[in-house]
A and B are shown apart, each in its own frame.
Chain A
């Protein structure tokens, strides 16, 4: 199946109009010695066959519906109301391109404006862009904004070790050609108050996660004030779902808030695509990378929306652009806008509280087990760290026998946290599943 509608007659007529005899004749500009390679690719198959093949392949995976998933670490198994995917399946949304022609793109534009509004208000900030690729790349863009804000005069980034390891790696990848000092994440126990001491006149940005990678939630006001005093920008990496119940980072004096929107109605899908949230204060709007939708009126006096402040962007500014980002994560931003709309004020708060209560019940019960200790010293949201009596990989392998997907092995990224498991509990986990986990852990530790 090729999705090509041409009949033999069409082809002949069209070739005649073009003035060549055969399709091959269209390629004479291509060097003959490399033209028409014989590719080693499979033969075509039908739609029926491909669905059978992929169904079989998908069944080679373990998935979270048939297991109790206690794995989080930046990707969470939440309930997604049916409305969300039904909206994403609207052909007019998913088969449109970037809304360059506003007269026939008001659906995408208004939905994006609503996404921007929802994100700004959820995070307690003035403005949001139309989104970045994911939380990690949004953090890298925050670093670049801070460097531009200081016009290259400040070259130090202070970064908490309790920011998702992948996000910290992405920041380092993005900035490897920029000659920066990135510090603060050398030891896993470094807390926000310890970062205060690292701020100096060379610091362009200080960034922490909230709730942090270990689940902790702490008051960030003091760090916000210290950042302001030192002239560094203050960026907070959030889990947007947690903001259903937590004080938004805007209240702590954040200059930039970034995060991954996956918890808001986006399926796990092996980690992507998701959506990168980026919100900031009005005063940084012209330095913010990424697409922006603004309100205006049309020639008939109707309220409408357009892409705005485009002179910042690469198709006009080229090498002087604020970023190379060309698109946003349109459809994923739409998913989170639909999710927040249908959840609403009461629903989002409720989901956040369900996560919170269930996680605390689980933590308390596991902490009571012999050999397992709760590591967190602060309040936490829906994730917590358990020091285990055996290697986490061994425990997780045993938990699979109970159809339980165990938590994240922190020793992979934090050598000091060998045998420490990061456990996530979301609203989809029932009390019985937590009780099963506790029973399983008890059995595993007694082996």
Chain B
């Protein structure tokens, strides 16, 4: 089933596109600056179409089937969003055109800022961050700038629970702060005694994922927040799990000072095989002035006859730009379309059914798969992919075997605090029938683990590709197709 590389389809002299003739007098090309070799493929349009069509068929996707990848919120991506993002009036606007001529864009962005503020309980939102991790870094820089602005420059520690996404510590380090890890207690909450030991005047803040990566709402959330606020620190909220909280609780009401949203999770924009995402950041009143440059604001209120005039505004103590231009506009527009259609009641229903679906799966699977912190979960839960009476079987084997049953596997080996973790997030867009078929597969695999472990160890069997040799990939690095690559006979 191997598809040739696009270079392997190339034939000298073949063209894929027709272009117009030069309609102006030609100018001499700059001496000494013109390249001799341009090693690009030479293929016909039809070759390109078939090549990428065949590649697409080697992917599993949300539109192929159930994709319960924990912490990634792989919900259905509405098709109307795609069409709206491609409307010429949006798609053909230039980021540097006069804001007066881009009022449609700015009105849309202003409304989305407003809705995200309302849902999160915040006083300001920046749409600029390009992804969740980018929003995290933005948030930590805002916290740092806030303390520095108050002359409080000794705060260089960020407290991070051990269940946090790996991006939390990485974002902290990138922002020039030190990471202190806080362990979890026996119920999967932040260990309050451990937290107390670290709360002092060197704490800049704490990064809280709530619901946490076990899919559990922190039972002592108010104590955690009060402790950190009590020592002068701020609370960063990782909004990766907002799908459980829409209209249920506002992070700002809990005392969270800054939070990033993942439009590509909670608000249905497609994941694109790993991007583009969008990671807007919401902040409490005291942090509004530190938001990245620019935010969308109203520069003239207008009146009955005249609509308000929107503009791009630099917050007075802004941390600066975090990317060029104004954020992932095309992604922002998809999220706007989704939120506008769902409205207040629809957004609340998203969380209700995301949580119902997760608890239904949990209830059906808990007798077969060990669930280490077993209580009512939020939009996802973590089970262990290992049994004492099937010692050779690991979470990875279960994941691979699920592909044979036609599913994308759950996230495995995360969070790190659960051994052999299988992190399952069904989302609200899956029907009871689709969950029931998944449950049957999970139960069948648990049986196979005891009766026919070899089938699991060697899975997947029905996919077009088998398990990949990742050790070879890392040892004999081949990261691009160079001319020498095509000369090797075994690569042809």
- Scoring A99, A130, A294, A361 by chain B CB atoms within 10 A of each residue's CB, the highest score goes to A294
Q: Bound state CA distance, A126 and B362, in angstroms?
A: 48
B43 near A344 with CB under 8 A, answer: yes
Asked if A89 is at the interface (CB within 8 A of a chain B CB), the reply is: yes
Asked if A207 is at the interface (CB within 8 A of a chain B CB), the reply is: no
Asked if B316 is at the interface (CB within 8 A of a chain A CB), the reply is: no
Asked if A308 is at the interface (CB within 8 A of a chain B CB), the reply is: yes
Asked if A219 is at the interface (CB within 8 A of a chain B CB), the reply is: yes
- Scoring B96, B219, B478 by chain A CB atoms within 10 A of each residue's CB, the highest score goes to B96
Asked if B369 is at the interface (CB within 8 A of a chain A CB), the reply is: no
CB < 8 Å neighbour of A29 from B56, B219, B278, B478: B219
Q: Bound state CA distance, A314 and B468, in angstroms?
A: 22
CB < 8 Å neighbour of A18 from B76, B341, B359, B409: B359
Chain B residues with CB under 8 Å of A334's CB are 52, 272-273
Chain A residues with CB under 8 Å of B16's CB are 81, 83, 341-344, 347
A396 near B98 with CB under 8 A, answer: yes
Known: A349-B38, A431-B24. A273 touches B175 (CB 8 A): no
Known: A268-B92, A294-B474. A342 touches B48 (CB 8 A): yes
Asked if B41 is at the interface (CB within 8 A of a chain A CB), the reply is: yes
Known: A246-B33, A303-B2. A294 touches B478 (CB 8 A): yes
Q: Bound state CA distance, A360 and B98, in angstroms?
A: 26
CB < 8 Å neighbour of B49 from A42, A86, A93, A285: A86
In angstroms, how far is the closest chain A Cβ from the Cβ of B405? 12
A273 near B331 with CB under 8 A, answer: yes
Stretch at the interface among A50-58, A196-204, A367-375: A50-58
Known: A6-B353, A321-B166, A405-B94. A309 touches B321 (CB 8 A): no
* Proximity string of chain A (330-363) to chain B, C-beta cutoff 8 Å, 1 when within and 0 when not: 1110100110111111111111011011101100
The 10 A-B pairs at the shortest CB distance, nearest first, are namely A177-B176, A58-B89, A271-B325, A271-B95, A331-B272, A44-B343, A273-B276, A173-B320, A60-B104, A299-B466
Asked if A248 is at the interface (CB within 8 A of a chain B CB), the reply is: yes
Stretch at the interface among B125-133, B280-288, B385-393: B125-133
B45 near A83 with CB under 8 A, answer: yes
A17 near B468 with CB under 8 A, answer: no
Stretch at the interface among A102-110, A187-195, A222-230: A102-110
B458 near A299 with CB under 8 A, answer: yes
A97 near B5 with CB under 8 A, answer: no
Asked if A292 is at the interface (CB within 8 A of a chain B CB), the reply is: yes
Chain A residues with CB under 8 Å of B35's CB are 243, 245-248, 251
Q: Bound state CA distance, A97 and B144, in angstroms?
A: 32
B96 near A137 with CB under 8 A, answer: no
In angstroms, how far is the closest chain A Cβ from the Cβ of B57? 6
Chain B residues with CB under 8 Å of A37's CB are 121, 247, 249-250, 253
Chain A residues with CB under 8 Å of B63's CB are 91-92, 95
* Proximity string of chain A (266-280) to chain B, C-beta cutoff 8 Å, 1 when within and 0 when not: 011111110000000
Chain A residues with CB under 8 Å of B458's CB are 299
Asked if A377 is at the interface (CB within 8 A of a chain B CB), the reply is: no
CB < 8 Å neighbour of A98 from B2, B274, B278, B466: B274
Asked if B136 is at the interface (CB within 8 A of a chain A CB), the reply is: yes
- Which single residue of chain A is at the shortest CB-CB distance from B138? A173
Stretch at the interface among B79-87, B194-202, B445-453: B79-87
CB < 8 Å neighbour of A137 from B80, B134, B320: B134
- Which single residue of chain B is at the shortest CB-CB distance from A321? B170
Known: A298-B465, A314-B170, A345-B40. A93 touches B61 (CB 8 A): yes
- Which single residue of chain A is at the shortest CB-CB distance from B77? A95
Given contacts A326-B167, A347-B16, 14 further A-B contacts (CB under 8 A): A6-B353, A15-B356, A17-B364, A29-B216, A61-B103, A104-B59, A120-B480, A136-B324, A176-B145, A176-B319, A217-B33, A314-B133, A345-B42, A360-B27
Asked if A417 is at the interface (CB within 8 A of a chain B CB), the reply is: no
- Which single residue of chain B is at the shortest CB-CB distance from A114? B6
CB < 8 Å neighbour of A298 from B48, B49, B466: B466
Total contacts A to B, CB within 8 angstroms?
Answer: 676
Q: Bound state CA distance, A120 and B478, in angstroms?
A: 13
A177 near B481 with CB under 8 A, answer: no
CB < 8 Å neighbour of B363 from A18, A50, A71, A92: A18
Chain A residues with CB under 8 Å of B22's CB are 353-354, 357-358
A297 near B468 with CB under 8 A, answer: yes
Asked if B254 is at the interface (CB within 8 A of a chain A CB), the reply is: yes
- Which single residue of chain A is at the shortest CB-CB distance from B111? A42
A318 near B166 with CB under 8 A, answer: yes
B33 near A247 with CB under 8 A, answer: yes
Within 8 A of A (CB), among B176-197: 176-177, 179
Within 8 A of B (CB), among A256-302: 260, 267-273, 285, 291-300, 302
CB < 8 Å neighbour of B399 from A6, A101, A327: A101
In angstroms, how far is the closest chain B Cβ from the Cβ of A12? 11
A137 near B130 with CB under 8 A, answer: yes
Asked if A121 is at the interface (CB within 8 A of a chain B CB), the reply is: yes
Q: Bound state CA distance, A173 and B234, in angstroms?
A: 20
Known: A298-B468, A308-B474. A245 touches B275 (CB 8 A): no
Within 8 A of A (CB), among B232-246: none
* Proximity string of chain A (30-50) to chain B, C-beta cutoff 8 Å, 1 when within and 0 when not: 110011110111111111001
Asked if B431 is at the interface (CB within 8 A of a chain A CB), the reply is: yes
Chain A residues with CB under 8 Å of B356's CB are 6, 11, 14-15, 18, 23, 26
CB < 8 Å neighbour of B469 from A43, A297, A346, A408: A297
Chain A residues with CB under 8 Å of B327's CB are 271-272
Within 8 A of A (CB), among B400-414: 400, 403, 408-409, 411, 414
B273 near A13 with CB under 8 A, answer: no
Q: Bound state CA distance, A64 and B399, in angstroms?
A: 48
Q: Bound state CA distance, A297 and B80, in angstroms?
A: 39
- Which single residue of chain A is at the shortest CB-CB distance from B337? A50
- Which single residue of chain B is at the shortest CB-CB distance from A363? B27
In angstroms, how far is the closest chain A Cβ from the Cβ of B124? 16
In angstroms, how far is the closest chain B Cβ from the Cβ of A117? 4
Chain A residues with CB under 8 Å of B132's CB are 326
B275 near A328 with CB under 8 A, answer: yes
A324 near B94 with CB under 8 A, answer: no
Chain A residues with CB under 8 Å of B342's CB are 1-2, 44
In angstroms, how far is the closest chain A Cβ from the Cβ of B346? 4
Stretch at the interface among A154-162, A163-171, A439-447: A163-171
Asked if A184 is at the interface (CB within 8 A of a chain B CB), the reply is: no
B221 near A106 with CB under 8 A, answer: no
In angstroms, how far is the closest chain A Cβ from the Cβ of B400? 7
Known: A41-B344, A108-B273, A302-B2. A116 touches B480 (CB 8 A): yes
Asked if B93 is at the interface (CB within 8 A of a chain A CB), the reply is: yes
Chain B residues with CB under 8 Å of A111's CB are 52, 55, 273
Q: List 22 A-B contacts (CB under 8 A).
A: A18-B356, A35-B249, A36-B248, A40-B118, A43-B345, A45-B341, A60-B89, A62-B97, A83-B48, A83-B49, A89-B82, A100-B69, A104-B460, A107-B55, A108-B274, A269-B90, A270-B102, A299-B466, A314-B167, A326-B167, A330-B273, A331-B275
